[in-house]
């Protein structure tokens, strides 16, 4: 396993649209392990492959609290099937270190993906897991949380990011 370098905004590679994974190979499973280790080291609750410069449709999420056992979830070639309701959530992002913003997302999500075992699955989620799925799936489409903000909030976020990384 290896900790990978996380790309930071405004790196243009974060805007690349990820390509589907043809087959879950040992190389893909190793990538997933590296992504999980990188996410835990950061620390964060989710990481998309595009955030480490790998343009593949993969993300990992673990929304377990510090006092709970790990609950790593792997999503390969995810497809959002349904979005329902609305919620505002204070989101952070490993590509925007030290910054969080309130983002409007669907309250519930249904997603289809392939796991690290190569088997397809469907999952319905709400709360933080639903937010994380939407956030990481956006990364695979080259969409960043700053894109969800008004012009004023974008400027404020830019200032926060400059202070946080100074």
Query: Helix, strand, or coil here: 142?
Result: coil
Burial annotation 88-100 (CB, 10 A radius, 16+ → b, else e): ebebbbbbbeebe
> pLDDT (tens digit, 9 = 90+) per residue, 132-151?
999 999 999 999 999 999 88
Tell me what the mean pLDDT of segment 2-19 comes to.
96
pLDDT in tens, 36-89: 999 999 999 999 999 999 999 999 999 998 889 999 999 999 999 999 999 999
Residue 98 structure tokens: 């030290």
Region 12-165: CATH code = 3.90.45.10
Answer whether residue 5 shows pLDDT above 90: yes
- Which positions are catalytic? 136
Q: What is the helix (H) or strand (E) element at residue 46, kind and residue range?
A: strand 46-48
Hey, CA dihedral for 98, 149, 40, 51, is it positive or negative?
negative
* pTM: predicted TM-score of the whole model, two decimal places: 0.95
Average pLDDT, rounded, for the chain: 95
């Amino acid at each position: 396993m290896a900790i990978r370098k996380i790309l930071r905004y405004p790196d243009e590679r974060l805007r690349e649209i990820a390509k589907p994974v043809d087959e879950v190979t040992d190389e893909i499973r190793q990538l997933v392990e590296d992504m999980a280790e990188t996410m835990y080291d950061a620390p964060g609750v989710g990481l998309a492959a595009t955030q480490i410069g790998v343009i593949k449709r993969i993300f990992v999420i673990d929304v377990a609290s510090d006092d709970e056992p790990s609950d790593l979830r792997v999503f390969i070639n995810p497809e959002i099937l349904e979005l329902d309701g609305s919620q505002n959530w204070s989101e952070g992002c490993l590509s925007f270190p030290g910054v969080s913003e309130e983002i409007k997302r669907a309250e519930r999500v249904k997603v289809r993906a392939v796991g690290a075992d190569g088997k397809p699955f469907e999952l319905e989620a709400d709360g933080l897991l639903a937010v994380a799925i939407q956030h990481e799936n956006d990364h695979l489409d080259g969409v960043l949380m700053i894109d969800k903000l008004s012009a004023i909030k974008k400027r404020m976020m830019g200032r926060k990011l400059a202070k946080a990384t100074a």
